[in-house]
Structure 1
Amino acid sequence: MYLRCDQSPQWPELAAVLARRGRQFDLREAFAADARRFSHFSQQAPHVFADLSKNLWDRTTEALLLDMAQACGLAQHRDAMFSGQPINNTEGRAVLHTLLRRPSGLALPGDGPEVAGQLAQVHGTLDAMLAYADAVRADDAITDIVNIGIGGSDLGPHMAVLALEEFRAAGKRMHFVSNVDGHELHSVLQGLKPHGTLFLIASKTFTTAETMTNAASARAWFDAQGGTDVARHFAALTTNVDAARQMGIHTTFGFWDWVGGRYSLWSAIGLPLAISIGAARFREFLAGAHAMDEHFRTAPLAQNLPVRMGLLDVWYRNFHGFASRCIAPYHAALRRLPAYLQQLEMESNGKRVAQDGRMLPYATSPVLWGEPGTNGQHAFFQMLHQGTDVVPLEFIAVRQPTHPLPGHQGKLLANALAQAQALMVGKASDSDGHRHFPGNRPSTFLLLDALTPASLGAVIALQEHRVFVSGSLWGINSFDQWGVELGKVLAKDIEARLGTGDVAGLDASTAGLLGLIRSRG
């Protein structure tokens, strides 16, 4: 066991720091008092430059947070993850998604006895998957690829395919279906022909209710439209090879129980991305993530970007009481990144008990939300600037455009910089409260030189490790997701009741709604 953050000697010291200044830390005064504030609170990590200087902390606070990380055994917990120890204690599993992007044959200090064998298996599967991806890219008859999955089997590949659409293969249209609402699948199928479509069924167990419902409907559509050769037009990303074969699927790519769904983009679940951008660029994507892995694994905590960001998250959540964080990517291709990060953080750290199952006395995961800039400026930035709640904002900007249109990129970057500046400096108005901007609103600014497979891989890995840091200090298991199970179990019962009308044993609200749905059928 590692020391929980509230049990560390630095916890009351941090509370005392906040109490002494009465939550009145002023960023404008901090910059005026420290000419080197920007240089101290910013750093270059692999493919990502981060400016943390517009956040509500100073060197004293950061030093205490770093000392708390040391006292809690963060470095040891990190090393245990990389070495393959079963840190997912509720499921008795290792957490080795970083192995999915480690170069072939690379041994690291502390590797457990099975890591080398696992790495060989990883690269065997990777090589086969990428060979298949390039074969699909070279097949001019296949014009549409439909990925059917949900959760990590959808959010990751969907986000990444959109983010790297500049590198998409010509003549290949990528589609993603996740919702069990038939409207989504029906809308996609309307524009397709069976002879030109490849379906990818992404489900580790091949039992996920939403995915298998959509897969069965896709197969029924394929047959009804005169489709032939199921083995050519369907592939499965699963470990349940027998179930896939029962559907007529013979091309399968598996993964391992130490890969959580929200960490699976680097595995066979990334096949849609590999088809879209090609094997060579997919390897660049993995390399970018690996570079961030090595930074997280080897950099001193004080110069370790995932550590600094994770500590800032704990500072905001537990000492300032900030309940949410806004994500504003200033690049339209990153439009699905906020949704991806929602699952990554809220499913990982949305826990109310410690690893020993006991209730925690403090808050854990914030609510993540957001939209691309500049759209968000015309929607919710009003609240960020003048609302009653302080919401830390995370900007993600890209220096180089991914388009040839003149006059756009300068305006986009100017807006990102200006919004971060305005949140901090504000604007005083003694005569009109409507035009008063309080300022002193915190933000983080992440800057990429270009949006490439490598830089996207690094950004995602950065966010994964940042979530690990906060979860480690909170003493929770960031790698299970029991909270998604209860609703699934109850849904099976209610689905049967929708057919029979039986409401025995249901609460009055559920019974009333079920009866209303049946009566209006």
Structure 2
Amino acid sequence: MTSSDTSAVWERLQAIETRTLGDLFAADADRVEKLSQRIEFEVPGDGTNGMLLDWSKTHLDDGLLDGFEALADAAGFAEAREALFAGGIVNPTEGRPATHGAMRGSGTEADVEEAEALLARMGMLVEAIHQGALGEVKHLIHIGIGGSALGPDLAVDALTRDLKLVDVHVVSNIDGLALEQAFAACDPAATLIAVASKTFTTTETMTNAASALKWLEENGVSDPSGRVVALTANPERAVEWGVDETRILPFPESVGGRYSLWSSIGFPVALAVGMDDFRAMLAGAQAIDTHFRQTEGRTNGPLLAAFADQYYSRLRGCQTRAVFAYDERLALLPDYLQQLEMESNGKSVTADGKPVDGPTAPITWGGVGTDAQHAVFQLLHQGTHLVPVDFIASIAPGDDLDPAHHKALLMNCFAQGAALMSGRKSHDPARNYPGDRPSAMILVDDLDAAMLGALIAFHEHRTFANAVLMGINPFDQFGVELGKEIAKQLGSGEGQFDPSTNALMEAAGLR
């Protein structure tokens, strides 16, 4: 790929006439069929599940899709996808592959074998804990930050609404209130601590971990270190910190934090719902891997989503993308996607270090329906910003109440997409809805463990596809380092800082 190859395609895309959604539907009776697809997968012992992807309410048409397929070819999408699963160096700034797919069975034979061995090790520890090998365990305080916390928090929240084998509390914030809240909910005599850190040096995580050990000791636990499980790519450091080898669950260095849920970072999920459900989550993710690897062009679900993302950010100047889950179990999904998409693709240089020639990741935000309808949807319908929206919903309800609840939930979800597209004209400007506002729908059969894995993997691959189309590296995150370095300098009293920062330090009594 050369920049001139993709630049020429972008020029052709920019020349395509913009048509309204109403005109696009009127001109093509097959539009829904063309821009919708169903992905089905079998989960052993759990039957068939599936998701319907409907991108027909976006402004994509045949001309744009032809252009974006040409862009994918010019950007080397097929080659990049092959390198991802073949263990190639897809993270050039750090000289690493990205082997998170192998954690769920999609990768090289050697990587998959290593992943299965690590999964079996985790499974044995989970089973031993459930059988009482570490004494009574009612609670787990899982301490991590970033991907080491967001993924487990999402999965535990989504999958334990009906039943939990162990009560899990995820703590990421260095603010002591977060840790105290977890302490208040747990019996120290029946609590384990999971410390999740790739390097086992992350300041926030290790500070919280030390405080958790102190809490156990102050509450009569005779061997606090014996209640710690380490989830890390640096097991030697965990041993130095005092964790016994039998309670260290490693994962490969080539698994990035925001892609690590499938590794031992998923330990709290397995402890909360059991290894069978955790493996089902992996199986659902692997099913999307298979679709992503074997499907080409616009029939590739994550790639089609990336085409729409690129259209709105690059050709329409949209600076944000909204995600609304019409399912309480996915309340944390927007938070998870914020890190996945913005940390991966929030870059200003290409993979070879040159300035990008257009916008990269939009700001990802969102919420839960129907709550969001009475908060932010005013801006979506009548504001001056054009915001592409993703809706996510489940056909099967997550509750056992009167079916009227779920019927109303789904009708509200579908109505919002219809209203954004059609609008409503009025002679009263305050009551005028312009319409022609895009949305996409992901409608799943049922939100079980396998489907949760499939949803997350779909967005992982969508993020990767966007990165390839933009020519950037989605697997490094140097942008998070500078602030941490300066925080350490402030703590040690080293370095020169601006007058405002110095005044704030003095006002807070920190110098």
Q: TM-score range by the shorter chain?
A: over 0.9
Q: How does 1:309-458 map to 2 (within 5 A)?
A: 309-406=305-402, 407-430=404-427, 432-458=428-454
Kindly state the Cα deviation for residue 135 of structure 1 after the two structures are TM-superposed. Answer: 2.7
Structure 1 residue corresponding to 2:157, chosen from 150, 162, 167: 162
Contact 2:258 2:339 in 1 (8 A): yes
Secondary structure of the 1:91 match is coil
1:187 to partner: Cα distance: 1.5
Deviations 1:454-501 (A, max 9, x none): 11111111100011111001111110000011111100111233xxxx
Which of 178, 189, 203 matches 1:184?
178
Deviation at 1:301, TM superposition (A): 1.7
- Which of 279, 282, 285 is residue 278 of structure 2 equivalent to? 282
- The equivalent of 2:26 in structure 1 is 32
The answer to whether the 8 A contact 1:147-1:272 is kept is yes
Give, in whole Å, the separation in 2 of the partners of 1:472 and 1:246: 40
Alpha-carbon distance in 2 for matches of 1:4, 1:475: 9
Structure 1 distance, partners of 2:15, 2:5, is 13
Count matched residues. Answer: 497
Residue equivalent to 1:10 = 9
Q: Tell me which residue corresponds to 1:130.
A: 123
Q: CA deviation at 1:436?
A: 0.4
- How far apart are the structure 2 equivalents of 1:241 and 1:67? 45
Q: Percent identity?
A: 42
The residue that corresponds to 1:106 in the other structure is none
Contact 1:97-1:259 within 8 A present in 2 as well: yes
Amino acid at match of 1:48: M
Deviation at 1:231, TM superposition (A): 4.8
- d(CA) in 2 for partners of 1:422 and 1:242? 56
Deviation at 1:7, TM superposition (A): 2.8
Counterpart of 1:319 in structure 2: which amino acid?
Answer: L
Give distance in 2, aligned partners of 1:147 and 1:343: 19
The one-letter code matched in structure 2 to 1:480 is D
Matched, 1:466 2:462: yes
In the alignment, which of 256, 263, 270 is matched to residue 260 of structure 1?
Answer: 256
List structure 1 runs of 4+ shifted beyond 4 angstroms: none
CA RMSD of aligned residues (A): 1.6
| Deviations 1:381-411, CA, capped at 9 Å, x for gaps | 0000000001000000000012100021001
Shift of 1:516: 1.2
Q: Could you tell me which of 84, 88, 91 is aligned with 2:91? A: 88
Q: CA contact under 8 A between 2:390 and 2:439: conserved in structure 1?
A: yes
Question: For residues 224-251 of structure 1, what are the alpha-carbon distances to aligned partners after superposition, in whole Å with 9 as ceiling and x for unaligned?
Answer: 1111233542110013333323443211
Change (3 A) 1:316 1:189: same
Deviations 1:124-162 (A, max 9, x none): 110110222233234382111110000000000100111
For 1:235, what is the secondary structure of its paired residue?
strand
Q: Is the 8 A contact 2:199 2:233 kept in 1?
A: yes
Q: How does 1:233-272 map to 2 (within 5 A)?
A: 233-250=227-244, 251-272=247-268
C-alpha distance in structure 2 between counterparts of 1:167 and 1:275, whole Å: 15
- 2:182 is paired with a residue whose SS is helix
Shift of 1:198: 0.7
* C-alpha distance after superposition, 1:362-386 (max 9, x if no partner): 1000000011101110110000000
Is contact 1:237-1:269 (8 Å) kept?
A: yes
Query: Do the aligned partners of 1:89 and 1:355 also contact (CA within 8 Å) in 2?
Result: yes
In structure 2, the partner of 1:152 is: 147
Q: Give the drift of 1:166.
A: 3.8
Given residue 411 of structure 1, which amino acid in structure 2 is its aligned partner? Answer: A
Shift of residue 300 of structure 1?
1.9
Contact 1:5 1:68 in 2 (8 A): no
CA distances 1:65-103 after superposition (whole Å, capped 9, x unpaired): 112112221111100111111111000001111111017
* 1:150-179 deviation per Cα after TM superposition (whole angstroms, max 9, x unaligned): 000000010011111246434x21101000
Q: Contact (CA 8 Å) 2:97, 2:254: kept in 1 or not?
A: yes
Counterpart for residue 206 of structure 2: 212
The answer to whether the Cα contact below 8 Å between 2:91 and 2:97 also exists between their aligned partners in 1 is: yes
In structure 2, do the counterparts of structure 1 residues 167 and 191 end up closer, same or farther at CA, with 3 Å as the change threshold? closer
Write the distance in 2 (CA, Å) between the matches of 1:328 and 1:4. Answer: 35
Maintained 8 Å contact 1:101/1:287: yes
SS in 1 for 2:368: coil
Q: Is the 8 A contact 2:233 2:253 kept in 1?
A: no
- Whether the 8 Å contact between 2:99 and 2:111 is mirrored in structure 1 is no
1:406-432 per-position Cα deviation (integer Å, ceiling 9, x unaligned): 0210010010000111000111102x1
Structure 1 unaligned residues grouped into runs of 5+: 104-110
- Give the whole-Å Cα distance in 2 for the aligned partners of 1:96 and 1:505: 40
For 1:68 and 1:487, locate their aligned partners in 2 and report how far apart those are by CA, in whole Å: 36
Farther off after superposition, 230-239 or 471-480: 230-239
What letter is aligned with 1:375? D
Match of 1:70 among 65, 68, 73: 73
Aligned-partner Cα distance in 2 for 1:255–1:120: 13
Does residue 230 of the first structure (1) align with residue 224 of the second (2)?
A: yes
* TM-score, length basis structure 1: 0.92
Tell whether 2:98 aligns with 1:98.
Answer: no
Structure 1 residue aligned with 2:300: 304
> 1:221: which partner in 2?
215
User: If the length of structure 2 is used for normalisation, what is the TM-score?
Assistant: 0.94
2:103–2:263 Cα contact (<8 Å) kept: yes
Give the C-alpha shift of residue 8 in structure 1.
Answer: 4.4
1:143 counterpart residue number: 138
Quick one: distance in 1 between partners of 2:237 and 2:429?
Answer: 64
Cα gap change, 1:27 to 1:271, in 2 (>3 Å):
same
- Following superposition, the deviation at residue 3 of structure 1 comes to 3.7
1:488 is the counterpart of 2:484: yes
Q: Which runs of 5+ in 2 are unaligned?
A: 41-49
Matches of 2:346 and 2:162 in 1, distance apart? 35
Task: State whether residues 213 and 225 of structure 2, in contact with CA within 8 Å, keep that contact through their aligned partners in structure 1.
Answer: no
Letter in 1 for 2:116: H
Q: Aligned pair 1:55/2:58, yes or no?
A: yes
CA distance in 2, matches of 1:67, 1:241: 45
C-alpha distance in structure 2 between counterparts of 1:465 and 1:168, whole Å: 30
Q: Is the CA contact 1:3–1:475 (under 8 Å) kept in the aligned structure 2?
A: no
